[in-house]
Amino acid sequence: MPLFGKKPEADKKHYSDVRRRYEFKKTLGTGAFSEVVLAEDKTERGKFNAIKCIDRHGLVGKEESLENEIQVLRKLRHPNIVQLQDVFEDKGHVYLVMELVTGGELFDRIVEKGSYTEKDASLLIKQVLEAVDFMHDKGVVHRDLKPENLLYYSPMDDSKIMISDFGLSKTEESGTMATACGTPGYVAPEVLAQQPYGKEVDCWSIGVISYILLCGYPPFYDENDAALFQQILKAEYEFDSPYWDDISGSGSVVTQP
Residue 98 in contact with ligand PIT, rule: CB under 6 A: yes
| Sole binder of ligand PIT in the list 103, 167, 182, 219 (CB under 6 A) | 167
| Sole binder of ligand PIT in the list 144, 165, 190, 202 (CB under 6 A) | 165
At closest approach, how far in Å is the CB of 18 from ligand PIT?
16
At closest approach, how far in Å is the CB of 226 from ligand PIT?
29
What residues numbered 39-68 form the site for ligand PIT, per CB under 6 A?
A: 50, 52
Residue 76 in contact with ligand PIT, rule: CB under 6 A: no
Using alpha carbons, list the distances in angstroms from residue 4 to 63, 64, 92, 146, 239: 10, 9, 15, 28, 48
DSSP-H helix ranges across 94-187? 106-113, 118-137
Establish whether 225 is a catalytic residue. Answer: no
Q: Is the backbone of residue 178 left (phi > 0), alpha (psi -120 to 50) or beta?
A: alpha
The beta-carbon contacts of 35-40 under 8 Å, at least 24 apart in sequence, are 36/98, 38/100, 39/97
Between residues 57 and 238, which has the closer beta carbon with respect to ligand PIT? Answer: 57
| Sole binder of ligand PIT in the list 18, 37, 39, 73 (CB under 6 A) | 73
At closest approach, how far in Å is the CB of 62 from ligand PIT?
13
The SS3 call for residue 48 is strand
| Sole binder of ligand PIT in the list 22, 95, 116, 166 (CB under 6 A) | 166
At closest approach, how far in Å is the CB of 218 from ligand PIT?
23
The SS3 call for residue 105 is strand
Tell me the pairing of strands 93-99 and 140-141.
unpaired
Q: Which of 90, 144, 158, 202 is catalytic?
A: 144
Residues 140, 98: contact at Cβ < 8 Å? Answer: no
Between residues 89 and 190, which has the closer beta carbon with respect to ligand PIT? Answer: 89
